[in-house]
Amino acid sequence: MLATIVRGSLGFPRIVTALSLLIAIMGAYALLNARLDVFPDFAPPHVLVQAEAPGLDATQVESLVTRPLEGLLAGAENVEAVRSTSSQGLSAIQVVFGREGDPYRQRQVITERLADSSALLPRGVGPPLLSPLSSSMEYLLHFGFTSDRLSPIELRDLIRWTIKPQILAVPGVAQAQLFGGDSRERQLLIDPLKLQAAGVTLDDVDEAVHRGTQLIGGGYVETATQRIVLQAQPPGASLESLAQAVVATEDERFYSHHGIDTIGLGRAFLYDVTHFCRCEGGSTITEQLVKDVYLNGNDEGYNKLIDTVMALKAEQLISKRQIMADYVSEITTGFGRYGVTAAACAYFHAPLGSLTIGQYALLAGVTQAPSVYDPTVNPTLAGQRRAAVLSAMVSEKFITPAQAASAGQEPVLVPGPTPASC
């Protein structure tokens, strides 16, 4: 049999060659149009729908969120199965489609169905969201990030805003999920007894928080020559101006050094030598915090060495944000007052979070010499010191010259009764 095939092939070489080419062409066509590659996706096409339900336990999530969404999605086109899991605060639903369907068409169908879900879900439940289009082998790489200098919040911010966008920019990457760390948030601690005494409800507090932190449009003002755009800044976002004012006037390299500013020390030493005095100290904010809190304000002799060592150690254990918060809470602001919160109530009769840039600059300036720059005693000197702080903030590009000019026109003191929030 085999000999007959060989003799026939040798007797008709052209036919055998043509058949070989035809088979090769058919094989190449089949290879180019094959549905499975070297790493086949054995799982059928599917989408994952997730909905957050803060405050609900797993049983409540199942009955109030998962089941209504399952009933809404089960009748979609080409759906073969609907699977779900309900956990505390989260509902996850997997919708499985047939292999013959178009995945983009299927996602569109699910999106249209979810548009009608708002009427089915209780108040407070977030809108259902679709996961990015990906295969069953979506998780290919896992990265772990640790840091000896960054806090969990700062590390998560770095990954979220710097590293994750770069990963998503890589061709072929559909999603990059982030787990762990601490999320940045503003927390509101409520005392029920004080609420009851003041006759305030939780809804009133919720409304006040939203009104005090939301971003709103400021519109614009028309002049004869130009249109001036107004920017409305919520009080909750303006606290950074206080830190910027303190950094600009006391420690301009606060966010770059490790507790000791060698450039500042060199400049202070050169100034003292050329002026034959001990006028400049070159201490950083971290060193001042260590001196005031741990060394009782004494930085003479051996304690100065301890101050330096402890400042280096503090930078390893505490984040920059926490160091700044502790510093502004402990500094002397004149006549027995400690911390900028007390100073804000004394000078401006307002909570710290509701001040303006000019008022933050004045607070930062007072800390250098509270007995001299206290606006209740020397308003003229306090205004001059505020102007110097605003100029430093402009030099560090924290604010614009226009913002500095506007802040410099504000009154040094704000008369009036002290509110209950102080």
Name the pTM for this structure. Answer: 0.50
Give the pLDDT score at 295: 65
Residues 111, 105: Cα–Cα separation, whole Å: 10
- Sheet bearing 46-52, strands edge to edge: 79-87, 90-97, 46-52, 129-130
Q: Are residues 202 and 59 both part of a single domain?
A: no
Host domain of residue 295 = 237-408
Q: Are residues 156 and 211 both part of a single domain?
A: no
| Domain contains 181 | yes
227 membership: H or E segment, kind and range: strand 227-231
| Domain contains 39 | no
Count of domains forming the chain: 4
Catalogue the E-assigned strands of 9-164. Answer: 46-52, 79-87, 90-97, 129-130
Q: Tens digits of per-residue pLDDT, 211-260? A: 766 666 677 888 888 888 776 655 545 567 888 888 888 888 888 888 88
- Give 46's strand partners: 96
Q: Are residues 227 and 293 both part of a single domain?
A: no
CATH of the domain at 363: 1.10.3810.10
Q: What is the mean pLDDT of the chain?
A: 80
Amino acid at 156: R
Under a CB-based contact definition with an 8 Å cutoff, are residues 54 and 89 in contact? yes
Q: Are residues 221 and 291 both part of a single domain?
A: no
What phi, psi does 81 have (nearest 5°)? -155, 150
Q: Are residues 164 and 114 both part of a single domain?
A: no
| Domain contains 30 | no
CA angle 120/121/126 to nearest 5° reads 140
| First CA to last CA distance, the chain | 105
Q: Are residues 388 and 243 both part of a single domain?
A: yes
Q: Does 208 have pLDDT greater than 80? A: no
| Domain contains 12 | no
Q: Does 376 have pLDDT greater than 50? A: yes
Q: Tens digits of per-residue pLDDT, 136-179? A: 556 677 888 988 888 888 888 889 889 999 998 988 787 788 88
| Domain contains 76 | yes
Q: Are residues 332 and 257 both part of a single domain?
A: yes
CATH of the domain at 125: 3.30.70.1430
Over range 411-420, report the average pLDDT: 72
What phi, psi does 94 have (nearest 5°)? -105, 120
Least confident of 213-227, 384-398, 400-414: 213-227
Taking the CA atoms of residue 386, residue 389, residue 393 and residue 395 in that order, the dihedral angle to the nearest 10 degrees is 120
Q: Are residues 313 and 195 both part of a single domain?
A: no
| Domain contains 20 | no
Q: Where are the alpha helices (DSSP H) in 224-354?
A: 239-250, 262-275, 285-294, 302-317, 320-330, 340-348
The full length of the chain comes to: 422
Q: How far is CA 149 from CA 75, 161, 190, 313, 345, in A?
A: 52, 18, 33, 11, 34
Q: Are residues 314 and 393 both part of a single domain?
A: yes
Q: Are residues 248 and 315 both part of a single domain?
A: yes
Q: Does 296 have pLDDT greater than 70? A: no
- CB neighbour list of residue 7: distance below 8 Å, 6 or more residues apart: none
Last residue of some domain: 232, 259, 289?
232
Query: What b/e string do you get for 188-221 counting C-beta neighbours within 10 Å, with b at 16 or more?
Result: eeeeeeeeeeeeeeeeeeeeeeeeeeeeeeeeee
CA angle 68/70/71 to nearest 5° reads 65
Residues 285, 267: Cα–Cα separation, whole Å: 16
Could you tell me the two tokens for 57? 């336990």
Under a CB-based contact definition with an 8 Å cutoff, are residues 149 and 141 in contact? no
249 membership: H or E segment, kind and range: helix 239-250
| Domain contains 15 | no
192 membership: H or E segment, kind and range: helix 192-198
Q: Are residues 347 and 250 both part of a single domain?
A: yes
- The beta-carbon contacts of 80-89 under 8 Å, at least 24 apart in sequence, are 80/44, 86/58, 86/59, 86/61, 86/62, 87/58, 87/61, 88/56, 88/57, 88/58, 88/61, 89/52, 89/53, 89/54, 89/55, 89/56, 89/61
Q: Are residues 383 and 308 both part of a single domain?
A: yes
Residues 290, 293: Cα–Cα separation, whole Å: 5
Residues 392, 422: Cα–Cα separation, whole Å: 29
Q: Tens digits of per-residue pLDDT, 62-109? A: 999 999 999 888 888 888 889 999 998 899 999 888 877 777 888 888
| Domain contains 75 | yes
Residues 37, 7: Cα–Cα separation, whole Å: 39
Q: Tens digits of per-residue pLDDT, 267-290? A: 766 766 676 666 666 678 888 888
Over range 355-364, report the average pLDDT: 87
